[in-house]
Amino acid sequence: MTTNAAGNASISALVARELRLASTSWSIGVLGAVAEFFRREEEPFDTDGATRAVTARGAIRIAVNGATHAVACGITGAEPSSIALCLPATDCVMHARGIVTEAGPDRDAVRACDVEATLFDLGLGSPYFDFYIRTADPAAVGCLRRGIGMPLFDARHNLLREILAINPHRVFASKLGRIEVYQRIAGPGEVTPEGPHTHLLPELLRTGRIHAEGAFIPPGWVPCVQLYFGQPPAHGPAADPAHAS
């Protein structure tokens, strides 16, 4: 694994080029809680040509800055299979909430139609990523408010089952971008939907790892966005509502 010290302009050009390609997929998150964005070749999409791509099933927006470092990963032969867009750990701290929290309207939504919808932070406690669900339905907002102030996996509520029934948007964010997932959550035993989706795996979350072993991210740096040259493989059945969304 090698580190690419390309300047901000080169990284911005890389992002702009890859956002236009259906063969490139993206992820944001940690081991056990991750959002993925990709689209079919024939799938209609909207882009500003530089920082975002939007389909009917999800959206991604990337915002590199002068501190962004591109790290080539998964090298086979001469070419990397993925690139991690990284920041120094001190530069990418997010809210780090440890309990379910109502975060207000989503003023940073990729689509204008979603800016009045309400965000709920799932409180997964990562210093470097925020994990939200989002809904504009008043009944759903009232339901989700019953979990405020408690950990997501607390036995005192049934929030995970309620989230499955509500099917809210999922919004995973870092200092360098966000992925929004609009399509439905896979139910128990169902195959994860093709296209943008999220995974929530409590047993992996408990490891506290930001990324899988072997990624070789330089010490002191955090992979805020990952891009893959080639879409990820299909996923198997969802074991329960917490495992795929």
pLDDT digits (tens, 9 = 90+) for 160-212: 999 999 999 999 999 999 999 999 998 877 888 889 999 999 999 988 888 77
Element (H, E) at 71: strand 69-73
Where residue 175 falls (left for φ over 0; alpha for ψ -120 to 50; beta otherwise) is alpha
Beta strands in 89-141 (DSSP E): 101-105, 118-121, 130-135
Lowest-confidence segment of 2-6, 36-40, 43-47, 95-99 by average pLDDT: 2-6
This prediction has a pTM of 0.89
Which stretches within the chain are classed as H helix? Answer: 8-19, 138-144, 159-166, 202-205
Q: Quick one: average pLDDT of 105-117?
A: 98
pLDDT at 2 over 50: no
Buried b (16+ CB within 10 A) or exposed e, 118-146: bbbbbbbbbebbbbbbbbbeeebbebbee
d(CA 197, CA 19): 17
